[in-house]
Amino acid sequence: MDKKDKIIWVTGASSGIGKETAKEFARAGFRVAATSRRHSILEMVNKELSSENLCVEVFACNTASSANVEQTVKSISAVGHIDCLINNAGITTFKLAEENSIKEIKEIVETNLLGAIYCIKAVLPEMIENKGGTIVNIISVAAEQVLKGSSAYSASKAGLLAYTDVLREEVRKYNIRIINILPGATYTPMWPKDILTQRGDDMMKPEEIAQLIVSAYLHDKKMITEKIIIKPIVGDL
């Protein structure tokens, strides 16, 4: 199957790792479906790619809504075959557990854990039918490390790591690859501005992680990188 017949679906593509990943796949010659909750911000991806005579296809999608995810997949599938899902959409707060409201916790879990699962469930039937496909989950070192001020975020990411580790074993028979990326501190808008000002120079760049994601996808289909932990050279921040 030609690259142009394969669609790479990147969620949370309006900024940070998702945005850079969508751009990097476009540079590699793939068709890219870039989604986020706000369609207007997604157009910035194409604005930045215009100088390279490249573009991605943009769709508004709130991954926390299973109905919205299903409709988005129908729209994407109408123009091509989804060969790879990049589960990147995520939110967080930087509060102690005692300070997090139930509403905040619910929103974090619905987006980071359930939203990722909704996307997986939406693409899985076609991948099973086609006997192949790749699902890349952008998780976090917070799934395995104790990071104060990130209890709800850590719970959501640990849940996704556990879910997809089990899923990987269940779908090997269909030649479906599950790749989990666990980045450490990365320079993205998710961080408070004061932290970016103080520690931004020590953080990893989204474009570097994007290049790693594309590389992992392009590995020979008989080989799978199951889990990648990446951290700033200075270590945990």
**Active site amino acids:** 153
Query: Measured between alpha carbons, how far is 191 from 37 in angstroms, rounded to an integer?
Result: 19
Tell me if 115 sits within 8 A of 70, measured CB to CB: no
C-alpha 111: how far from chain center: 11
Instruction: State the Cα angle at 199 between 89 and 149, rounded to 5°.
Output: 55
Distance between CA atoms of residues 61 and 59, nearest Å: 6
Query: If DSSP codes are grouped into helix, strand and coil, which group holds residue 131?
Result: coil
Phi, psi of 59 (to 5 degrees): -140, 135
Given a contact cutoff of 8 angstroms between Cβ atoms, the answer to whether 69 and 118 are in contact is: yes
